[in-house]
Amino acid sequence: MNHEISNNHTAGTAQIIEGVIEAVQRAFFDLDTWSDEEMHSSGRFSARVFPQFRHLAEKLQCDVRFTASEPRNYEFLYDICLLKTSGAFNERNGYFYTHSPLRRALLVLECEWSPREEEIVYDFSKLLLARADLRCMIFYRSSRPLVDACIERARFAIKSFEQSTTSDRYLLCGLHGRSTTFTMLDGLGNDLEIGDFQRSIQKQARPHIQNL
């Protein structure tokens, strides 16, 4: 089912969505070659994710925060955050100053590699509290039905949260077996077509083309 995209979510959000999908695909392009031991290594999953979102942050010219050895990139509330400051997004100590205040959260992201559904739902629930253009969850399950079950639990969590708004945007990236399922939900738990956001990018890049 197609749902109208809120005017508050323009091509900027669409570019973040496209960037996240590309980052996840690049991180796990060779998932089908992983051994059973590698598939059960949470460290291997995380090590694949972080560099891709560093690259995305460079592309979007924003600050990236996640657990790493660099002082600036310590974890800030969520596993990964892409943040806009006043252009000075290279503060080495990670603090916010009057000359570089926190202006906008472009993306907040949680990763959960546990095989337990409750752990995945627990981490997803943190995203309900966020004020960001896009809230994202990346998780792994051993089969597509188990991924679908987690998506339905996430949908229920969104619908149950009394402070949800229609304009909220969630992207769930469910790795299963040797592939990935991407699901977009709004703040009411309704499905959104990712293709609608991709067309938003196309319209911005080529405004003279009609009826994309």
Is position 3 within any domain? no
Is the separation of the CB atoms in 60 and 82 below 8 Å? yes
Residues 25, 54: Cα–Cα separation, whole Å: 15
- What is the pTM assigned to this prediction? 0.84
Mean pLDDT of 80-96: 73
Residues 119, 124: Cα–Cα separation, whole Å: 9
pLDDT confidence bin for 161, thresholds 50/70/90: very high
Q: Which of 79, 74, 80 is nearest to 95 (CA)?
A: 74
Is position 109 within any domain? yes
Q: Is the pLDDT score of 88 beyond 70?
A: no
Tokens 């090590």 map to which residue? 47
Task: Please report, as a single letter, which amino acid is at residue 147.
Answer: V
Is position 212 within any domain? no
Output the pLDDT for position 31.
Answer: 87
Q: How confident is the model over 165-186, as pLDDT tens digits?
A: 999 999 999 998 778 999 999 9
Beta bridge partners of 83: 63, 105
Range of the domain at 104: 11-205
Is position 2 within any domain? no
Element spanning 136, H or E: strand 134-141
Q: How many domains does the chain have?
A: 1
pLDDT confidence bin for 71, thresholds 50/70/90: low
Is position 210 within any domain? no
Tokens 């149950």 map to which residue? 160
**DSSP secondary structure, 170-205, as one string:** EEEEEEETTEEEEEEEETTS-EE-HHHHHHHHHHHH
The mean predicted confidence, pLDDT, of the chain is 83
Q: With H, G, I as helix, E, B as strand and everything else as coil, classify residue 89.
A: coil
Is position 54 within any domain? yes
Query: In terms of C-beta density within 10 A (0-12 exposed, 13-18 middle, 19 or more buried), how is residue 13 classed?
Result: buried
Output the pLDDT for position 123.
Answer: 97
Is position 106 within any domain? yes
Is position 38 within any domain? yes
